[in-house]
């Protein structure tokens, strides 16, 4: 799942009438904001962990146990990042294909973009398979 679009939640809040509807709309906005914040923090932590573990694995002064732990951490963070990247591309495809039929020129552009995204997904999936082996 990608990030929530907060504009819609904010419009619901500004359009709310009465205390109950305003409270519900406000809670939705807060919840979606917290979710987005947590997701961004998680994705950033995964990327940071992957980079740092790769950096640390270059060191010569690691014990075998430390090296094994760092390799496991690196493998897990790389797998998570690849899965996240694949999911983002799949969501973009869903968004593109859920739009109503467009004019012919635009439809060709959409089909080309979807094909390109599917190729990217295939490439990322191969990388993920390699990491998990």
pLDDT at residue 68 is higher than 90: yes
Per residue in 82-112, pLDDT (tens digit) is 999 999 999 999 988 887 766 777 888 889 9
Report the distance separating Cα 8 and Cα 33, nearest Å.
12
Domain boundaries, the chain: 6-132
Q: What is the pTM of this model?
A: 0.76
Contacts of 49 (CB under 8 A, 6+ apart): 73, 74, 77
């Amino acid at each position: 799942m990608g990030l929530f679009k907060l504009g819609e939640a904010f419009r619901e809040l500004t359009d709310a009438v009465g205390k109950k509807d305003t409270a519900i709309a406000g809670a939705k906005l807060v919840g979606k904001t917290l979710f987005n914040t947590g997701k961004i923090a998680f994705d950033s932590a995964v990327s940071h962990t992957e980079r740092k573990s790769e950096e640390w694995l270059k060191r010569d002064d690691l014990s075998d146990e430390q090296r094994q732990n760092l390799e496991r951490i690196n493998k897990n963070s790389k797998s998570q990042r690849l899965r996240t990247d694949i999911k983002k591309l799949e969501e973009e495809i869903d968004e593109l294909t859920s739009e109503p039929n467009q004019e012919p020129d635009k439809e060709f552009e959409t089909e080309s973009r979807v094909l390109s995204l599917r190729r990217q997904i295939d490439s990322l999936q191969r990388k993920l398979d390699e990491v998990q082996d």
